[in-house]
A and B are shown apart, each in its own frame.
Chain A
Amino acid sequence: MLLEVRDLRVEFHTRDGVAKAVDGVSYGVDAGETLAVLGESGSGKSVTAQAVMGILDVPPGRITGGEVVFRGRDLLKLKEDERRKVRGAEMAMIFQDALSSLNPVLSVGDQLAEMFTVHRGMSRRDARARAVELMDRVRIPAARERAGQYPHQFSGGMRQRIMIAMALALEPALIIADEPTTALDVTVQAQVMELLAELRRELGMGLILITHDLGVVADVADRIAVMYAGRIVESAPVHDVYKAPAHPYTRGLLDSVPRLDLKGRELRAIKGLPPNLTRVPPGCAFHPRCPLARDVCRTDEPPLYEVSATRGSACHFWRECLDD
């Protein structure tokens, strides 16, 4: 296993009290595998990734437990300077908003070249040549000329390519992409996802794709981890989930998206709202919104039951959900 997150816990201290943003999350990614972490806002999917990358804002955030084992080492035990060497060189992150993630006063060529001068000790001239090569690789037309331009001179799709180029620069073993195409138009989204998938295959990297888009997940993922209120509620190979979800929340998500290829009249919406993380309901966090909820769901928090060797569901009644 390239990366294994074990029982990770992250808390935020807020005015309303302690929010358990990540409450015992475990997942793993193999080299060459794409894991999609699916969830709505506030589910803890991005915070988990930030803790893995070591870019969590501390305070207000605090890692209170768990392990992040990457290539055999627990990253949470490393010192900050050791951690910094892992970040960028061995694992890299792509963010949703490329404009605010790139430095507005440095040309994109300089920003890319900086990766090579800082991490690899290259000369400025060599680094610049590598930067242009990278821009070519993520298919930015006229790379040599455009290397001298600034982020605001690029379109959204092109900026996202530059972010991808930057993440790939040092050929990391793992890429974490946090909603990489959410801000993009569909035709551009297709370009960027295709590029990302192709480069991932070519370089044999592991990819963690954080998203709320069930369509994107179906398109590229090998495995899915569905998060709700800081916990993983279902974890399975992608085909299993779409064929028959083993958790009522996953089922609710699948039923609530309109499909281009199926026009039905009424969407089956999930009732209610995701909980406030400072006041997560007792027992199963999803029970107030769940059509299968019974007394036991209000009192006992479900463990991640083993549905099959490769699949888990945190629902007391997963069998029922699967048969439904």
Chain B
Amino acid sequence: MTEPVLEVSGLVKHYPLTRGVVFRKQVGAVRAVDGVDFTLGRGETLGIVGESGCGKSTVAKMLVNLERPTAGSIRYKGEDITRLSGRALKAVRRNIQMVFQDPYTSLNPRMTVGDIIGEPYEIHPEAAPKGDRRRRVRELLDVVGLDPEYANRYPHQFSGGQRQRIGIARGLALRPEVIVADEPVSALDVSVQAQVVNLMDRLQSEFGLAYVFIAHDLSIVRHLSDRVGVMYLGRIVETGTDTEIYEHPTHPYTQALLSAVPVPDPRARERRERIILGGDVPSPTDVPSGCRFRTRCWKARERCALEAPALAVPAWFEASGGPAAHDSACHFAEAVPVGRSAPEQVVPVEGHGNGPG
């Protein structure tokens, strides 16, 4: 990996649940994010996938300082941004910008597009001298593939895909090093999604951006990411390069998730065997003991309820090396060929020894 721009460690966000009006007392907590670690290299894309409620958007908000973490650190080039305030914080925030999911609600309808894209310069006047801002806004519109003449129009005059381009242009205005994109294409039509994905790809090489790309769509995440982290109920359960995760997943949740994605090829219908998970994701107010996934896992045993598995390379893969040797938080991590894995064929591997694969 290249030199890290972001290092996240032990990141936690708990929202207190209180009862009572006069005498508020805490009765529990929503454990939205519960111990997340990752690093992001310069110019790299880290994809974070997970289903709704897994905490991926809360991670995004903490990265751009819209939420304060309950615990843990976020280091930008070695400096912990969770401890900064005032001017020092403002300086760091310039370098980490966000692109939001919903291009319909994330742009102010009363501002012209030019004002929206130029607004970051009001907050960070040192980024561009006043006389130069109009030119820069027009340049940004051009960069994201919109006509610079559009600067005087309002958001409602644009389609969803065009609005998302405006959101991206705003994100680029301060020339950040990191862009955190939370589901940037999921509100768009299929044919328009590809345009925006290609744009993000091009901008990355043009400006040397590092992306944290958060999405529930596993195909799009694979398309854009160098490395991928899979989240479940507030934790990363497996992380590795895109090939390691997509072709050699060892965590049962990742395996189930991948097997559930419909492939746009009807010939795959006969070949594939799906792992259909039972039940729903448990509530983050009442997280299961030990491994969080055990309530839906077909491999779960007694040990899973007692001991939370650490996110590390399983010992039995470490010796053998190869693509299965990546971080996986499962006591019984196992390499299973994708698409052909069926629960009844899975034989759990006990503690140590070589896994099959």
Contact = CB atoms under 8 A, between A and B. Distances in A.
Do A and B belong to a common assembly?
yes
A273 B159 contact: yes
A158 interface: yes
B84 interface: no
Contacts of A261: 263, 265, 268
Contacts of A40: 189-191
Nearest to A195: B276
Contacts of B162: 273
B235 interface: no
A215 B261 CA distance: 8
Contact of B219 (A212, A216, A255, A259): A259
A100 B290 CA distance: 37
Contact of A239 (B242, B266, B274): B266
Interface in A238-291: 238-239, 242, 252-261, 263-271, 273-274
Contacts of B274: 190, 194
A268 B190 CA distance: 12
Say what secondary structure dominates the interface of chain B: helix
B219 A252 contact: no
A257 B51 contact: no
Contacts, number: 132
Interface string A191-223: 101100000000000000000111111110100
Contact of B197 (A190, A239, A258): A258
Interface residues of A, number: 49
Interface in B320-339: none
Nearest to B283: A155
Contact of A257 (B161, B194, B260, B280): B194
Nearest to A154: B280
A253 B256 CA distance: 27
B261 A258 contact: no
B267 interface: yes
B260 A190 contact: yes
Contact of B191 (A156, A217, A270): A270
A210 B268 CA distance: 21
A58 interface: no
B102 interface: no
Interface string B217-257: 01110110000000000000000001000100000000011
Interface of A: 40-41, 141, 155-158, 185-191, 193-194, 212-219, 221, 238-239, 242, 252-261, 263-271, 273-274
Interface of B: 51-52, 159, 161-162, 189-195, 197-198, 201, 216, 218-220, 222-223, 242, 246, 256-269, 274, 276-277, 279-280
